[in-house]
Amino acid sequence: MRLEVKYVSLIAVATVVLAGTAACGSSSKKPALTADQVNAQLLTAKDEPEWSFNAESDQTGTPYTTTSLKSGGSACQQFLDADSTMFGKYGTTDRVTRTFLQPSGSNMLLDEVAVMPSKAKAAAMVADLTSGLKDCKSFVVTDNDSATMVTANTGAPAGHVVYTSSSADSTYSTMIITDAVQVGADVVMITYTGSTTDDPAKAQQVVTHAAEVQAAHLKAAQG
């Protein structure tokens, strides 16, 4: 499930550039992690024992376009551009995704890492996400008539951007909570998709814990 279409069909379910050690008055840079290297660092059942996944379903791709809007204005478009890590705006190198399902229910946890061309591009994406959330309150995407409400969550750890999206149609009400955090030139985005009857505080704990673990995996791989 590509993240940029999560607002089109909400009920459809179921890197880093680091300075090297200076020597003889010069410095070198470690190469960015490749998509394969990032994929090897994705969360597993050891990290999330209450969820299941199939590694064969992992996805790697580049989002060339963003979701277009029927309504919502420029702030919501900016938010969606960042939320979809759009190639055309940020030059996203790859986006690596693993989907976790809850064996006892229909909820979904999406573990995604956007591999950006530079730390500056990653920072710009997170900044746009943060800025867009300040003024974007609701929007309607082109391929869906249901309005999506979006709010920035409080209580997020330093460096994390956490936000909740909710929407409803005639049969189901959906709550989506995302935690985004920059790790050098990578951006971790953990997304929980469930019902609006779910406990939002618990769901936020789930995504933030997963984001922190995923960020730690990437930092270790970056060295």
> pTM to 2 decimals?
0.84
Secondary structure letter of residue 182 according to DSSP: E
In the block, which residue shows the tokens 């551009």?
81
- At 12 the pLDDT is 38
Tell me how long the chain is: 223
Least trusted range by pLDDT, from 1-5, 102-106, 155-159, 186-190: 1-5
- At 209 the pLDDT is 97
Secondary structure letter of residue 56 according to DSSP: G
Q: What does the DSSP assignment read for 204-219? A: HHHHHHHHHHHHHHHH
Q: What three-state secondary structure class fits 27?
A: coil
Arithmetic mean of pLDDT over the chain:
84
- At 41-55, the pLDDT tens digits run 999 999 999 999 999
Fold of 3-222: Protein Transport Mog1p; Chain A (3.40.1000)
